[in-house]
Amino acid sequence: MKEAWLFAAQRLSAMVLAPLVLLHLGTVLYAVRGGLSADEILSRTEGSLFWGAVYGLFVLAAAVHAPIGLRAVLSEWCRWRGAGLDIAMGLFGLLLLALGLRAVMAVL
């Protein structure tokens, strides 16, 4: 039952995301005081296994969570159903994963 598995995947990824989002927002509030540039952020996080792991997990959970939610929105608002939507959302998830992991790789 595909919908049941997607339901579980979205709830589980939400449980992972909830504390990570709070941590992320807290970090943003702290970090923004020194200006928001890639150099400034990387100077603080580069080589840190902790931040690499946190954001690695964040990216993974977001790449699972977001496409499932977007799939529901598109199917209701745009009446888009079927295999085409599933494939598009799979690709969207991979895109999020690739973009996110690229950023995480810079930290490690």
Partner 1 sequence: MKRTCPRLVETGYDEPAMAVLEVEIWRGGEDGAWRRYSVPHEANQTVLDVVTHVQRHIDPSLAYRFACRVGMCGSCAMTVNGRPRWTCRTHVSLAARKGRVRIGPLRNLPVIRDLAVDMAPFFEKWRDAEARFVPAAEPPDAPVRPDEPERKAADAGIECINCAVCYAACDSVAWNPDYPGPAVLNRLWTLVNDRRDGDRDGHLDAAGAGCHLCRSHQECANACPTGLNPTAAIAGLKREVFRRALGGRTRERQQ
Task: Please report, as ranges, the residues that interact with partner 1 according to CB under 8 A.
Answer: 1, 3-8, 72, 75-77
Residue (89 or 104) nearer to partner 1, CB:
89
Determine the Cα–Cα distance for residues 79 and 16; give it in Å rounded to an integer: 30
Contacts 24+ apart (CB under 8 A), 21-28: 23/54, 24/58
Non-local CB neighbours of 41 within 8 Å, separated by 6+ positions? 31
Residue (7 or 30) nearer to partner 1, CB:
7
Least distance in angstroms from the C-beta of 6 to partner 1: 7
Least distance in angstroms from the C-beta of 3 to partner 1: 4
